Amino acid sequence: MTNFDLAQTDRLMQTTKQVRKRLDLTRTVPVNTVLDCIDIASRAPIGGNMQVNRWLLIDDTKKIQALASLYGEYGKDYLENGKKQVEQLGSDPTAKRVVESSIYLLEHLKDVPLMIIPLRMGLPGKSLFEQATFFGSVLPGVWSLQMALRSRGIGSAWTTLHLYNDLKANDLLGIPDTVTQVALLPTAYYTGSDFIPSKRRDAKEITYHNTWKDPVS
């Protein structure tokens, strides 16, 4: 028997979004607040209960600007191509909003007050098993971090475009070549009052029972 307020916990999970346009670029994010969130995130499931995840907090303006530049070297063309594809299809307003907000984030990335890079000690293997085990031990912690930040009025967004320049980012940040960057989270207090749950397909439409494509009755 649990004593959780399900309405509150469900709402937290349903409204923790990837925040791009609503990051408040004028407010500093206290490091101690982020450390509290990382302390929570470190309790997330991890393969073998190995304490191999690390977190790099970047609030140095010059390093943030340098990372934003690395992000944009590939990201600008990538997102412009995505925008053209969405415009050609012309029927998915959600995809259009995501691309537009991603371009907005790219243009303002240099101004965010904080970046968080989740890392894992070691390097991923080549097999599906090795990669699923490696990254699967990081992702639950990142999601827990994002929800912990959200509950404190802080937004973040999962991004990976800077990883096309991962070696340059390693050099910039002093990350050893035996450590793997997993993502980059632009982080800031969010503007506005709240978020609404995202629209998604019904669970029965995306869930199968015992065999691929067999519906849940």
- Per-residue pLDDT at 99: 84
Lowest average pLDDT, out of 29-33, 91-95, 155-159, goes to 91-95
Planar angle of CA 114, 120, 124, nearest 5 degrees: 130
Contacts of 183 (CB under 8 A, 6+ apart): 117, 118, 142, 158, 159, 160, 163
Asked if residue 197 lies in contact with residue 206, where contact means CB atoms within 8 angstroms, the answer is no
Inform me whether the pLDDT recorded for 91 exceeds 70: no
Lowest average pLDDT, out of 40-54, 76-90, 193-207, goes to 76-90
How much is the pTM? 0.92
Please provide the CATH number assigned to the domain covering 16-205: 3.40.109.10
- Per-residue pLDDT at 111: 97
In this structure, the number of other CB atoms found within 10 A of the CB of residue 154 comes to 23
For residues 173-186, give the mean pLDDT: 98
Tell me the per-residue pLDDT of 19-45, one tens digit each, with 9 for 90 and over. Answer: 999 999 999 999 999 999 999 999 998
Of 3 and 166, the one with more pLDDT: 166
Asked if residue 76 lies in contact with residue 136, where contact means CB atoms within 8 angstroms, the answer is no
Inform me whether the pLDDT recorded for 79 exceeds 90: no
Q: CB-based burial of residue 148 (10 Å sphere; 0-12 exposed, 13-18 middle, 19+ buried)?
A: buried
Instruction: Report the mean per-residue pLDDT for the chain.
Output: 92
Inform me whether the pLDDT recorded for 164 exceeds 80: yes
- Per-residue pLDDT at 1: 59
Give the integer Cα–Cα distance in Å for 113 and 76.
Answer: 21
